[in-house]
Amino acid sequence: MEKYAKHTDDELVALYQDGDYKAFDELLARSQDRVYQYLYFMLNNEDAANDAFQDTFVRAIMALREGRYKQNGQFLPWLLRVARNLVIDRFRGQRTRRTTPLEIEDAQGESTIDVLNTAAYSEPDVEMATVLSESADDVKMMINRLPEEQREVVIMRYYQELSFKEIADLTDVSINTALGRMRYALTNLRRMAAHRNLYLAV
């Protein structure tokens, strides 16, 4: 695999599409942990996550073979979109979108966060990073109890290490909305921690 290590993701995609199937092994090695982690947190079930993981890469292989991936240096976000679509497919028809009391939107359907203020980007990151430094078991339990949209943005930001712009693009919302969901997630995590007498230094 060393011969592939210096290639970018898009270069590996091109090699795979040209018939070098080992190039896909490198793509898999680079992305599998982050994809599985996303699926496990979203589905909260190991068997379901394993099934969705396999389906994600089957769909990805088919898309690559059919030339449906546009090389733009965004292979991991694209792969996570494939995984996210699988999660949506699994829940489609089983639930309607639930809105929590914390989800307050303006007339245009946007969370009321000023995206021109750079502090709007840094503040949620700093506070959430502190939350995630607490007991891993406690944090995982609380994250799993978040509303789906809030849980998803936390996972993408801190476990997949995506930017808010990438999260917004991936989930088809504005950066404003992605930031708003992060703030509501932090508020909910604080409330859950207080209810369980856990201390979060935020």
Residue 165 maps to a domain: yes
- DSSP states along 109-121: S-BS--TTSTHHH
Q: Is 98 left (phi over 0), alpha (psi -120 to 50) or beta?
A: beta
Residue 103 maps to a domain: no
Instruction: Judge whether residue 27 has pLDDT over 50.
Output: yes
Phi and psi at 95, nearest 5°, equal -150, 155
Rounded CA gap, 2 and 22, in Å? 11
Rounded to the nearest 10 degrees, how much is the dihedral formed by the CA atoms of 92, 95, 101, 105? 30
Residue 138 maps to a domain: yes
Q: Using 50, 70 and 90 to split pLDDT, how confident is the model at 186?
A: confident
- Higher pLDDT among residues 175 and 130, named by residue: 175
- pLDDT, tens digit (0-9, with 9 covering 90-100), for 84-103: 988 888 766 444 444 333 33
Same domain for 8 and 81? Answer: yes
Same domain for 87 and 8? Answer: yes
- Domain harbouring 144, CATH code: 1.10.10.10
Instruction: Judge whether residue 9 has pLDDT over 90.
Output: yes
- Higher pLDDT among residues 36 and 132, named by residue: 36
Please give the residue range of the domain that contains residue 146: 119-195
Residue 102 maps to a domain: no
CB 87 within 8 A of CB 52: yes
Same domain for 81 and 10? Answer: yes
Residue 96 maps to a domain: no
- pLDDT, tens digit (0-9, with 9 covering 90-100), for 140-171: 788 888 998 999 998 888 777 788 888 898 88
Task: Give me the long-range contacts of 63-70 (CB less than 8 A, separation at least 24).
Answer: 64/13, 64/16, 64/17, 64/24, 65/17, 67/17, 69/13
Residue 46 maps to a domain: yes
Distances (CA, A) of 28 to 12, 20, 63, 163: 11, 14, 15, 21
pTM: 0.63
Instruction: Judge whether residue 83 has pLDDT over 50.
Output: yes
Same domain for 69 and 8? Answer: yes
**The token pair that represents 116 in the structure block:** 């021109």
- pLDDT, tens digit (0-9, with 9 covering 90-100), for 111-147: 333 333 334 444 555 555 555 545 566 777 888 889 9
Mean pLDDT, range 50-59, rounded to an integer: 92
